[in-house]
Structure 1
Amino acid sequence: MPSFLEAPVAGAYHLLTYLVTALEPFAGAYAAVIAIVLCTLAVRLSLVPLSVRAHRGLKARAELMPQLKQLTERHRGNPERLQREVAKLQSESGTSLFAGFLPTLAQLPFFWLMYTLFSRTMVAGESNQLISGNLLGAPLGVHWPILTGTPAYVVIAVLLAVAAWFSSRLAVRQLDASAPTWSRRLAQLLPFGTLLTAAFVPLAAGLYLLTTTTWTVVERTILQR
């Protein structure tokens, strides 16, 4: 790993280790699990302003869908003209077609840190103490395919599927009635990508995905109302 990336990894490791130590008298073996959940909630709380902005952008985009559809039909044979007209429309409305992806993109560095911290036996020049934590007897540093059939895998997989289902419904509800079929199908399927991702990351990262997906469902429900 490049040296400039070691600093954030070491900083996150020491912070999480300190939190686990503070929680151990109350949480025992589940101190690491609670620490991951608390850190994830702290990250999502810090991103609330970005989520609100993204939600407003999605609403504005939904209002623009009829105009975008007209532009597509009018300039179907001229991709360059279509691109210019779409950019002009977005500029005039003050929104972007990618507004809804801002919270997800902002979380990528945190997800990478969680993956890195629980994938290495050595961090910041010392033995990684975090991977000794466990969830329902399954080590947090072990990848999910090895855990197939264990309670930890079953519980988190089921909860991730439930959260993805609710997230899928909310995503479709945000789309305008004139949205194309492929857009609706994509909105339905994308949330279930967390299940596929969780199959290739440590259990700790799967716990992060579950927590952040649940937060997204609650947050979208509140914002839509």
Structure 2
Amino acid sequence: MSVFPHLVAELGRLLEPALAESATAAAIVLFTVLVRLALYPLSRAAFRGATPVAGMLPLLLQLPVFFLMYRAFTSGGELLGHRLFAAPLGARWSDALGDGGPFGAQGLVFLGLFGAIAAVATWSAVRGRRAAAVAAAAAATAAAASAPAGPVGRAGAKAKAKAGTKGGTNAGAKGAAKGAAKGAAKAGTKPGAKSGVKAEVAGAGGVVALSAEQQEVMRKLGGVLPLLSFATLITAAVLPLAAGLYMLTTTAWSVVERIWLQHRKERAEEKERAEREVDRAVDREVDGGVRSSL
């Protein structure tokens, strides 16, 4: 027996005093959670990279485990006779239909599995559509912001540039005083003290402007890709019950994991925005003090 089915069997023995015949089914769920915990660093890196290829890596690494589990519940062995309530873990939906129909003892177990998978798929599809809509809106905003300035905008920019050159000595003195005061405020030292001031350069935003065609492709993909979650429902109807449990658990984990990672990303962005607001408030206070001193 392979190491993965052996681990499931051992987990089932540990859970058997509490769950009786359904212990192996609970062991499959627990085993799937352990696999996803081991893949969490890759999932986090894929989320940060936000590329389809990186996002497929955790799924590809699960395929060998899934195939071993599939063989364990189809080719015989000690796991084949275990059950989830009235349904054997090696049974398929067709077997349940032949043994009492969809509302028989086995059929009700499969209907419960299908209902759980459909709920997770619906949840994933709704969140996927919302994320696609947000991404499309951000791309449209970036495209509008990167549009070339018109004649009026260019004239205004030239006027500002000319006005900025007339300050001469006064502007230079004000800039020097403002820089010294800001450096002292950030470094926590007196204006005359010698201290190294670290310069921070805010780069341009990382949002890439997309063309109208690319935005249309993103909109269409955003409408179709979330529906692929329902393919799990079709697969669970063909594979053994044990494989359906694995797929339900890993799909639900993926949805919850993405929500968690998105929550952490939003919290980090809020923290950065708060820090920028504090920096701007300090800049305004320093600028006011410099102007009053001049």
**TM-score normalised by length of structure 1:** 0.72
In structure 2, what is the equivalent of residue 3 of structure 1? none
Residues 1:103 and 1:172: Cα distance change in structure 2 (over 3 Å): farther
Match of 1:215 among 250, 253, 258: 253
Does residue 107 (structure 1) correspond to residue 99 (structure 2)? The answer is no
Q: Which residue of 2 aligns with 1:10?
A: 2
1:140-151 equivalences under 5 Å are 140-148=89-97, 149=102, 150-151=107-108
- Structure 1 position 179, deviation (Å): 5.8
Distance 2:94 2:223 in 1: 28
Amino acid at match of 2:221: S
AA matched with 2:83: N
Judge conservation of contact 1:136–1:152 (CA < 8 Å) in 2. yes
Residue 41 of structure 2 corresponds to residue 44 of structure 1: no
Determine the structure 2 residue equivalent to 1:158: 115
For 1:184, the aligned partner's letter is: G
Measured on the aligned residues, the alpha-carbon RMSD in Å equals 1.6
- Equivalents in 1 of 2:52, 2:3: separation in Å? 35
Are 2:17 and 1:25 equivalent residues in the alignment? yes
CA contact (8 A) 1:136 1:151 kept: no
Secondary structure (helix, strand or coil) at the match of 2:247 reads helix
Q: Deviations over 1:96-122 (max 9, x none)?
A: 54222122112111211221111111x
Q: Which has the larger radius of gyration?
A: 2
Distance 2:91 2:42 in 1: 33
Task: Between 136-145 and 15-24, report the one with greater CA deviation.
Answer: 15-24
CA–CA distance in structure 2, aligned partners of residues 140 and 43 of structure 1: 20
Q: Alignment partner for residue 137 of structure 1, among 59, 82, 86? A: 86
Unpaired runs of at least 5, structure 2: 137-214, 264-294
Residue 133 of structure 1 and its aligned partner are, at CA, apart by 1.3
Is 1:116 aligned to residue 65 of structure 2? no
Residue 226 (structure 2) aligns with: 188
For residue 238 of structure 2, give the secondary structure of its aligned residue in structure 1. Answer: coil
2:238 is aligned to 200
Amino acid at match of 1:19: L
Closer/same/farther in 2, CA of residues 42 and 97 from structure 1, 3 Å limit: closer
In 2: Cα distance, 1:42 partner to 1:31 partner = 16
The CA distance in 1 between the partners of 2:5 and 2:118, in whole Å, is 29
Return the letter of the residue paired with 1:207. L
Q: Deviations over 1:95-150 (max 9, x none)?
A: x54222122112111211221111111xxxxxx11111111200000112222411
Is contact 2:4-2:65 (8 Å) kept? no
Match of 1:54 among 46, 51, 58: 46
Output the amino acid matched with 1:222. Answer: W
Q: How many pairs were matched up?
A: 174
Structure 1 residue 185: Cα displacement: 2.8
Instruction: Give CA deviations for 1:157-192 in whole Å, capped at 9, x if unaligned.
Output: 010001011112233334320362331133122111
Deviations 1:54-98 (A, max 9, x none): 11121xxxxxxxxxxxxxxxxxxxxxxxxxxxxxxxxxxxxx542
